[in-house]
Amino acid sequence: MQHNKEDLQNFANQIRRDVIRMIRHAGSGHPGGALGAAELFAVLYGHAMEHDPQAPEDPHRDRLVLSNGHICAALYSALARTGYLPVEELATLRQLGSRLPGHPSRTKFPAVIENSSGPLGQGVPVAKGIAQANLQLGFSGHVYCLVGDGEMHEGIVWESLLSAAQHRVGNLTLIVSYNDLQIDGRVSEIKEIQPLGEKLRAFRWDVTEIDGHDIDAVTNALVNRRAKPNQPKAVVANTVMGKGVPFMENLAKWHGTCPTEDEATEALEAIGTVPGYQDFTIMEKAEA
Protein backbone atom coordinates (compact mmCIF):
# COMPACT_ATOMS: atom_id res chain seq x y z
CA MET A 1 0.00 0.00 0.00
CA GLN A 2 1.31 3.41 -0.94
CA HIS A 3 -0.07 6.60 0.62
CA ASN A 4 1.25 10.12 0.91
CA LYS A 5 1.95 11.98 4.14
CA GLU A 6 -1.49 13.62 4.31
CA ASP A 7 -3.23 10.28 3.76
CA LEU A 8 -1.22 8.65 6.52
CA GLN A 9 -1.86 11.49 8.99
CA ASN A 10 -5.57 11.29 8.24
CA PHE A 11 -5.41 7.54 8.82
CA ALA A 12 -3.72 8.12 12.19
CA ASN A 13 -6.33 10.67 13.23
CA GLN A 14 -9.16 8.33 12.29
CA ILE A 15 -7.53 5.64 14.40
CA ARG A 16 -7.69 8.12 17.27
CA ARG A 17 -11.39 8.77 16.67
CA ASP A 18 -12.08 5.04 16.54
CA VAL A 19 -10.12 4.43 19.76
CA ILE A 20 -12.12 7.01 21.72
CA ARG A 21 -15.47 5.79 20.42
CA MET A 22 -14.64 2.10 20.86
CA ILE A 23 -13.46 2.46 24.44
CA ARG A 24 -16.28 4.79 25.42
CA HIS A 25 -18.84 2.36 23.99
CA ALA A 26 -17.17 -0.62 25.70
CA GLY A 27 -17.01 1.22 29.03
CA SER A 28 -13.40 0.17 29.60
CA GLY A 29 -10.07 0.05 27.82
CA HIS A 30 -6.68 1.67 27.46
CA PRO A 31 -6.83 4.89 25.45
CA GLY A 32 -3.52 6.59 26.32
CA GLY A 33 -1.04 4.30 24.64
CA ALA A 34 -3.36 3.60 21.71
CA LEU A 35 -3.69 7.31 20.93
CA GLY A 36 0.07 7.72 21.26
CA ALA A 37 0.81 4.93 18.78
CA ALA A 38 -1.65 6.05 16.08
CA GLU A 39 1.03 7.20 13.62
CA LEU A 40 2.92 3.94 14.10
CA PHE A 41 -0.13 1.86 13.21
CA ALA A 42 -1.05 4.14 10.32
CA VAL A 43 2.38 3.90 8.70
CA LEU A 44 2.67 0.15 9.32
CA TYR A 45 -0.68 -0.78 7.80
CA GLY A 46 -0.94 2.11 5.37
CA HIS A 47 2.55 2.05 3.87
CA ALA A 48 5.42 0.07 5.38
CA MET A 49 4.02 -3.45 5.65
CA GLU A 50 3.52 -5.69 2.64
CA HIS A 51 0.15 -7.28 3.34
CA ASP A 52 -3.12 -8.09 1.62
CA PRO A 53 -6.46 -8.40 3.43
CA GLN A 54 -7.59 -10.66 0.59
CA ALA A 55 -4.75 -13.08 1.33
CA PRO A 56 -4.22 -12.93 5.10
CA GLU A 57 -2.60 -16.39 5.22
CA ASP A 58 0.10 -15.61 2.65
CA PRO A 59 3.25 -17.04 4.28
CA HIS A 60 5.32 -14.24 2.73
CA ARG A 61 3.24 -11.48 4.33
CA ASP A 62 4.73 -8.97 6.70
CA ARG A 63 3.51 -9.40 10.25
CA LEU A 64 2.95 -7.22 13.29
CA VAL A 65 3.32 -8.74 16.73
CA LEU A 66 1.64 -6.40 19.20
CA SER A 67 3.35 -7.10 22.51
CA ASN A 68 1.62 -4.38 24.55
CA GLY A 69 -1.75 -5.83 23.65
CA HIS A 70 -3.76 -3.52 25.90
CA ILE A 71 -3.50 -0.81 23.18
CA CYS A 72 -5.33 -3.15 20.79
CA ALA A 73 -8.10 -0.65 20.03
CA ALA A 74 -5.63 1.08 17.70
CA LEU A 75 -4.70 -2.25 16.08
CA TYR A 76 -8.34 -3.17 15.52
CA SER A 77 -9.00 0.22 13.96
CA ALA A 78 -6.03 -0.18 11.59
CA LEU A 79 -7.24 -3.66 10.61
CA ALA A 80 -10.77 -2.45 9.96
CA ARG A 81 -9.69 0.58 7.99
CA THR A 82 -7.50 -1.58 5.73
CA GLY A 83 -10.15 -4.19 5.04
CA TYR A 84 -9.53 -7.06 7.44
CA LEU A 85 -12.88 -6.71 9.21
CA PRO A 86 -16.05 -4.67 8.79
CA VAL A 87 -15.65 -1.19 10.24
CA GLU A 88 -18.95 -1.62 12.10
CA GLU A 89 -17.42 -4.53 14.02
CA LEU A 90 -15.29 -2.01 15.94
CA ALA A 91 -18.40 -1.37 18.03
CA THR A 92 -18.01 -4.86 19.55
CA LEU A 93 -14.75 -4.11 21.38
CA ARG A 94 -14.52 -6.00 24.70
CA GLN A 95 -17.99 -7.54 24.34
CA LEU A 96 -18.75 -11.15 25.18
CA GLY A 97 -18.17 -13.34 22.15
CA SER A 98 -16.53 -10.59 20.11
CA ARG A 99 -13.50 -11.17 17.89
CA LEU A 100 -12.12 -7.98 19.45
CA PRO A 101 -11.38 -8.68 23.12
CA GLY A 102 -9.44 -6.38 25.43
CA HIS A 103 -6.22 -8.18 24.49
CA PRO A 104 -5.82 -9.58 20.97
CA SER A 105 -6.54 -13.30 20.69
CA ARG A 106 -5.08 -15.33 17.84
CA THR A 107 -7.65 -18.07 18.41
CA LYS A 108 -10.47 -15.61 17.75
CA PHE A 109 -8.88 -14.13 14.62
CA PRO A 110 -6.26 -16.53 13.18
CA ALA A 111 -4.02 -15.32 10.33
CA VAL A 112 -4.92 -11.71 11.15
CA ILE A 113 -3.84 -11.52 14.79
CA GLU A 114 -0.32 -12.94 14.93
CA ASN A 115 -0.13 -13.50 18.70
CA SER A 116 -2.35 -13.64 21.74
CA SER A 117 -1.16 -11.12 24.30
CA GLY A 118 -1.51 -10.43 27.97
CA PRO A 119 1.66 -10.68 30.08
CA LEU A 120 3.91 -7.86 28.97
CA GLY A 121 7.24 -8.65 27.34
CA GLN A 122 6.11 -11.89 25.72
CA GLY A 123 5.71 -10.43 22.23
CA VAL A 124 9.43 -9.91 21.64
CA PRO A 125 10.41 -13.60 21.89
CA VAL A 126 7.35 -14.52 19.81
CA ALA A 127 8.33 -12.04 17.10
CA LYS A 128 11.94 -13.22 17.17
CA GLY A 129 10.77 -16.81 16.78
CA ILE A 130 8.49 -15.99 13.85
CA ALA A 131 11.21 -13.99 12.13
CA GLN A 132 13.80 -16.73 12.59
CA ALA A 133 11.35 -19.34 11.30
CA ASN A 134 10.68 -17.19 8.23
CA LEU A 135 14.40 -17.18 7.47
CA GLN A 136 14.68 -20.93 7.87
CA LEU A 137 11.59 -21.60 5.75
CA GLY A 138 12.51 -19.13 3.02
CA PHE A 139 9.57 -16.79 3.62
CA SER A 140 10.29 -13.20 2.60
CA GLY A 141 8.03 -11.45 5.10
CA HIS A 142 9.38 -8.97 7.62
CA VAL A 143 8.27 -9.08 11.26
CA TYR A 144 7.56 -5.94 13.26
CA CYS A 145 7.11 -6.03 17.03
CA LEU A 146 5.57 -3.09 18.89
CA VAL A 147 6.30 -2.75 22.61
CA GLY A 148 5.72 -0.12 25.25
CA ASP A 149 8.64 1.37 27.13
CA GLY A 150 7.45 -0.13 30.41
CA GLU A 151 7.86 -3.56 28.85
CA MET A 152 11.57 -2.90 28.55
CA HIS A 153 11.75 -3.69 32.27
CA GLU A 154 11.12 -7.34 31.47
CA GLY A 155 14.16 -9.61 31.46
CA ILE A 156 12.74 -11.83 28.71
CA VAL A 157 12.86 -8.84 26.35
CA TRP A 158 16.62 -8.45 26.78
CA GLU A 159 17.24 -12.19 26.45
CA SER A 160 15.35 -12.09 23.15
CA LEU A 161 17.32 -9.07 21.96
CA LEU A 162 20.58 -10.90 22.61
CA SER A 163 19.32 -14.00 20.84
CA ALA A 164 18.08 -12.11 17.77
CA ALA A 165 21.43 -10.42 17.33
CA GLN A 166 23.34 -13.66 17.91
CA HIS A 167 21.31 -15.45 15.21
CA ARG A 168 21.48 -12.51 12.79
CA VAL A 169 17.70 -12.17 12.55
CA GLY A 170 17.74 -9.26 10.13
CA ASN A 171 14.08 -9.55 9.15
CA LEU A 172 12.94 -8.28 12.56
CA THR A 173 12.17 -4.70 13.59
CA LEU A 174 11.46 -3.80 17.20
CA ILE A 175 9.42 -0.61 17.69
CA VAL A 176 9.48 0.91 21.16
CA SER A 177 6.73 3.44 21.83
CA TYR A 178 8.61 5.56 24.36
CA ASN A 179 6.33 7.94 26.26
CA ASP A 180 7.99 7.56 29.69
CA LEU A 181 4.69 6.53 31.26
CA GLN A 182 3.24 3.28 32.53
CA ILE A 183 0.31 2.46 34.78
CA ASP A 184 2.28 3.30 37.96
CA GLY A 185 3.74 6.58 36.71
CA ARG A 186 6.98 7.65 35.04
CA VAL A 187 9.09 4.83 33.62
CA SER A 188 12.20 6.86 34.45
CA GLU A 189 11.17 7.02 38.12
CA ILE A 190 10.11 3.38 38.43
CA LYS A 191 13.08 1.78 36.68
CA GLU A 192 15.15 3.96 34.35
CA ILE A 193 15.86 2.39 30.95
CA GLN A 194 17.74 5.27 29.34
CA PRO A 195 19.98 5.61 27.44
CA LEU A 196 17.78 3.11 25.57
CA GLY A 197 19.26 3.67 22.12
CA GLU A 198 22.79 3.12 23.39
CA LYS A 199 21.76 -0.05 25.21
CA LEU A 200 20.14 -1.48 22.09
CA ARG A 201 23.23 -0.66 20.06
CA ALA A 202 25.35 -2.42 22.66
CA PHE A 203 23.13 -5.47 22.09
CA ARG A 204 24.16 -5.25 18.40
CA TRP A 205 20.91 -3.87 17.00
CA ASP A 206 20.71 -1.28 14.22
CA VAL A 207 18.96 1.58 16.03
CA THR A 208 17.02 4.62 14.83
CA GLU A 209 15.54 7.17 17.26
CA ILE A 210 12.65 9.28 15.99
CA ASP A 211 9.68 11.49 16.82
CA GLY A 212 6.91 8.90 16.79
CA HIS A 213 4.34 11.47 15.66
CA ASP A 214 6.30 12.71 12.63
CA ILE A 215 4.87 10.82 9.67
CA ASP A 216 7.98 11.32 7.55
CA ALA A 217 10.29 10.13 10.32
CA VAL A 218 8.13 7.09 11.09
CA THR A 219 7.87 6.20 7.41
CA ASN A 220 11.60 6.50 6.81
CA ALA A 221 12.39 4.38 9.85
CA LEU A 222 9.92 1.59 9.13
CA VAL A 223 10.51 1.19 5.40
CA ASN A 224 14.30 1.02 5.86
CA ARG A 225 14.06 -2.63 6.79
CA ARG A 226 16.25 -4.06 4.03
CA ALA A 227 19.37 -2.23 5.20
CA LYS A 228 21.87 -4.45 7.01
CA PRO A 229 20.04 -7.71 6.19
CA ASN A 230 21.88 -9.69 8.88
CA GLN A 231 21.21 -7.28 11.75
CA PRO A 232 17.91 -6.80 13.60
CA LYS A 233 16.52 -3.27 13.64
CA ALA A 234 15.13 -1.18 16.48
CA VAL A 235 13.13 2.02 16.24
CA VAL A 236 12.83 4.06 19.43
CA ALA A 237 9.75 6.17 18.71
CA ASN A 238 9.31 9.04 21.16
CA THR A 239 5.58 9.35 21.66
CA VAL A 240 3.09 11.17 23.88
CA MET A 241 0.53 9.25 25.87
CA GLY A 242 -2.93 10.46 24.87
CA LYS A 243 -1.58 12.31 21.81
CA GLY A 244 -4.21 14.40 20.04
CA VAL A 245 -6.43 14.88 23.08
CA PRO A 246 -4.99 17.75 25.17
CA PHE A 247 -6.55 16.79 28.49
CA MET A 248 -5.15 13.24 28.16
CA GLU A 249 -1.63 14.06 27.04
CA ASN A 250 1.27 13.04 29.30
CA LEU A 251 -0.95 11.75 32.10
CA ALA A 252 -0.51 8.19 33.41
CA LYS A 253 -4.18 8.26 34.45
CA TRP A 254 -5.14 7.62 30.84
CA HIS A 255 -3.17 4.40 30.60
CA GLY A 256 -6.34 2.51 31.41
CA THR A 257 -9.18 4.93 32.15
CA CYS A 258 -12.34 5.04 30.07
CA PRO A 259 -13.48 8.59 29.26
CA THR A 260 -16.90 9.71 30.38
CA GLU A 261 -19.46 10.66 27.75
CA ASP A 262 -18.57 14.33 28.10
CA GLU A 263 -14.85 13.58 27.99
CA ALA A 264 -15.30 11.45 24.88
CA THR A 265 -17.19 14.28 23.20
CA GLU A 266 -14.42 16.73 24.11
CA ALA A 267 -11.76 14.29 22.84
CA LEU A 268 -13.51 13.82 19.50
CA GLU A 269 -13.86 17.57 19.08
CA ALA A 270 -10.12 17.95 19.72
CA ILE A 271 -9.25 15.30 17.14
CA GLY A 272 -11.78 16.64 14.64
CA THR A 273 -13.48 14.86 11.77
CA VAL A 274 -11.20 13.27 9.21
CA PRO A 275 -11.58 13.84 5.46
CA GLY A 276 -12.41 10.66 3.58
CA TYR A 277 -13.52 8.66 6.64
CA GLN A 278 -16.79 7.92 8.34
CA ASP A 279 -17.20 6.87 11.95
CA PHE A 280 -18.60 3.42 12.58
CA THR A 281 -22.17 3.04 13.79
CA ILE A 282 -22.66 2.54 17.51
CA MET A 283 -24.62 -0.66 17.96
CA GLU A 284 -26.48 -1.90 21.00
CA LYS A 285 -24.42 -4.17 23.23
CA ALA A 286 -25.34 -7.82 23.08
CA GLU A 287 -27.08 -9.26 26.13
CA ALA A 288 -24.73 -11.28 28.33
Average pLDDT over the chain reads 95
206: helix, strand or coil: strand
Percent of the chain with pLDDT over 90: 91
Q: Report how far residue 200's alpha carbon sits from residue 233's, in angstroms, rounded to the nearest whole number.
A: 9
Q: What is the mean pLDDT of residues 198-212?
A: 98
Q: What is the mean pLDDT of residues 176-182?
A: 96
First to last CA, the chain: 39
The more confident residue out of 286 and 56 is 56
Confidence of residue 225 (pLDDT cuts 50, 70, 90): confident
pLDDT of residue 287: 46
Domains of the chain by residue range: 5-271
pLDDT of residue 63: 97
pTM of the complete model: 0.96
pLDDT at position 2 over 70 = no
Q: Report how far residue 20's alpha carbon sits from residue 32's, in angstroms, rounded to the nearest whole number.
A: 10
143 forms beta bridges with 63, 172
pLDDT of residue 232: 97
pLDDT of residue 284: 66
pLDDT at position 286 over 60 = no
Q: Mind listing the pLDDT tens digit for each residue in 90-103?
A: 999 999 999 999 99
Q: Mind listing the pLDDT tens digit for each residue in 29-55?
A: 999 999 999 999 999 999 999 999 999
Contact between residue 37 and residue 145 where contact means Cβ atoms under 8 Å apart: no
Q: What is the mean pLDDT of residues 58-65?
A: 97
pLDDT of residue 285: 59
Confidence of residue 119 (pLDDT cuts 50, 70, 90): confident
CB atoms under 10 Å from CB of 167, counted, come to: 15
DSSP conformation class of 284 = P
Q: Report how far residue 272's alpha carbon sits from residue 266's, in angstroms, rounded to the nearest whole number.
A: 10
**Class for domain 5-271, per CATH?**
alpha beta
Q: Report how far residue 51's alpha carbon sits from residue 248's, in angstroms, rounded to the nearest whole number.
A: 33
pLDDT at position 3 over 90 = no
